Copies of this chain bind each other. A is one copy, B any other.
């Protein structure tokens, strides 16, 4: 199996070239383009635009968001290096979400039509793409349902912990993180009020779980943070989300 050179994918078992022969990887690379650098606020795709490309983040951070029919904004996700977006637009033929850079960001562009043709030629590539779609589907099934039954504290702790884990998986071996998004974006993403985010961050600071300097967050106690994510899980909410009796 060919070990490819895409440094950002080092931590992922789902980078597209995985499992491909040297020759096949070359074919894949022929249809990949690296875009110019994007800066804070630059839009990469706009909700409603015609779908033609998938994007993979090489460095930086992006936020994906949409406006519903009533003009209300929803921040769906924050994307880190190694992650691919646009997959949810294949069927609809139009992007369902706008994506913009929160930071200086470099991307790969993949023409979907070409990729699809290549998948017919290279079974291993088809296999990888099915896996990629399936993994995204799984996490978007598991994450939201667990979230929307949690307290604000659990949600925010989960959010910070999730980011930390993802940063660490990318080789960022420090407990300090730059969160380039606004409090309002975080609040929106978690379905909370911005004021609640402020109050909780302060509480986490008081409890010596986090240290916060504007948009720089340092995790002081990973264990405490983790326990905050699961804490209420057994005390409350057991009526709605019934605890298992059988196996």
Residues of A within 8 A of B (CB): 14, 66-74, 76, 87-92, 96-97, 116, 119-120, 123, 126-127, 129-138, 140-142, 144-149, 184, 187-188, 191-194, 230, 233-234, 237-244
A242 to B230, CA, bound (A): 29
Asked if B144 and A242 make an inter-chain contact with CB atoms under 8 angstroms apart, the answer reads no
A123 to B144, CA, bound (A): 33
Which residue on chain B has the smallest CB distance to residue A135?
B91
Asked if A72 and B238 make an inter-chain contact with CB atoms under 8 angstroms apart, the answer reads yes
Hey, which chain B residues are within 8 Å of A148, CB to CB? 144, 147-148, 191
Hey, which chain B residues are within 8 Å of A149, CB to CB? 74, 191
Identical chains in the assembly: 2
A198 to B190, CA, bound (A): 27
Asked if B135 and A92 make an inter-chain contact with CB atoms under 8 angstroms apart, the answer reads yes
Asked if A130 and B90 make an inter-chain contact with CB atoms under 8 angstroms apart, the answer reads yes
Hey, which chain B residues are within 8 Å of A133, CB to CB? 87, 90, 130, 133-134, 137
Hey, which chain B residues are within 8 Å of A68, CB to CB? 146, 233
Asked if B184 and A242 make an inter-chain contact with CB atoms under 8 angstroms apart, the answer reads yes
Which residue of B71, B74, B126, B240 contacts A126 across the interface (Cβ within 8 Å)?
B126
Q: A70-B234, A138-B91 are in contact. Are A126 and B119 (CB under 8 A)?
A: yes
